[in-house]
Structure 1
């Protein structure tokens, strides 16, 4: 009977505290159906409190557990060499007071940033000059330009980030989402290299 199995580790999974992690949860297994089902049930990790919130499983440890079942199984690995297990604990309720403080700080900070930018580029003088060029009249407070500009600034930010609260306008990711994705990939790479016990060997290790 052909015992070749193709195994592809998932990049990241979420698990609950004290959850039993099997190969079927962390990887896709393709091959002989009977052997694949046996392999998927193999336990590779039991999440406990000492694991905190991040666990890294190396593909070699997974292959080793498969060979404990049957050394004749030919395992062909494809894709990532580690799986990151994120242990998800029960979320604490957010304090309304703390939420209000954070919201206020962000609101004031972003408002000051916009005002300081406009002051640096002399936006008031620009609006005054444009108003005089269009109407031929001098006006130190050209509200005819400033009000539409303020509304357009807000609409532009909404379109730029592609979100209005939880409403998404299209499937294209926003620049913020792309930056968050890149940050998450860098973080996962760091964790995979530094939390994986198999990727580093200290001088005093056997």
Structure 2
């Protein structure tokens, strides 16, 4: 028992309903061989229906379970003090009518936003002016400018989101993925602050 147990809580874990969460599920462990494997199977938490879809496990709960089995074991704790456990409840089948309505709404809304932007900046007049400056002739519809410009908008959106349908163009995350990552981090911090009952104490 001379060698200390090094443990580090993971950031996030997804489990099925009624699952038993073990130490190896929520922690990275470093100890000595077979004892490390046995300790990784130590139950830490049993998921209950009353828990909902999010559970916050505190490092103190983990230490308490380890101390119950190895009371004299020296511990070296690294990393975060909490882990967010998401319970993956079965998803309902998507409503095709609702998906279609949302898709149409987003498509029309995006189109109107682009058209309103072009109206605000007088894009048609800009194209007409560029056409006149290059050719010396006036044109109400300079298609040789408008068509490549329209195609460029679509290509620009593909490059911005870094996806063609389900295929990623390169390994670099898109700005949308970065924003979603930051949003998820903020959500996790909120859950840790407000869902962890150990953070709330009322002194009588």
Q: TM-score, normalised by structure 1?
A: 0.96
Deviations 1:165-205 (A, max 9, x none): 1011100000000000000001111111111122222334x
CA distance in 1, matches of 2:36, 2:199: 27
Residue aligning to 1:124? 124
RMSD value over aligned CA atoms? 1.1
Tell me, yes or no, if the aligned pair for 1:20 and 1:43 is still in contact at 8 Å: yes
Counterparts of 1:3 and 1:51 in 2: how far apart (Å)? Answer: 36
In the TM superposition, 1:46-125 aligns within 5 A as 46-125=46-125
Structure 2 Cα separation of the partners of residues 202 and 114 of structure 1:
53
3-state SS of the aligned residue for 2:91? coil
**Which residue matches 1:143?**
143
What CA distance in whole angstroms lies between the structure 1 residues aligned with 2:111 and 2:203? Answer: 53
Say which SS state the counterpart of residue 199 (structure 2) adopts.
Answer: coil
For 1:195 and 1:94, how far apart are their aligned partners in 2? 29
| SS of equivalent residue, structure 2 residue 77 | strand
How far does residue 38 in structure 1 lie from its aligned partner after superposition?
A: 2.8
SS at match of 1:8: strand
SS at match of 1:77: strand
Name which of structure 1's ranges 69-78 and 193-202 shifts more when overlaid on structure 2: 193-202
Q: Any unmatched runs of 5+ in structure 1?
A: none
1:19-71 per-residue CA deviation (whole Å, 9 max, x = no partner) reads 01111111111012233223212111111110110000000110011000021
Does residue 34 of structure 1 match 2:34? yes
CA distance in 2, matches of 1:198, 1:69: 23
2:188 equivalent in structure 1: 188
Runs of 4+ in 1 over 4 A off after TM superposition: none
SS in 2 for 1:44: strand
SS of aligned partner of 1:198: helix
Distance in 2 separating the partners of 1:37 and 1:141: 73
Task: Give structure 2 stretches of 5+ with no counterpart.
Answer: none
Aligned residues: 204
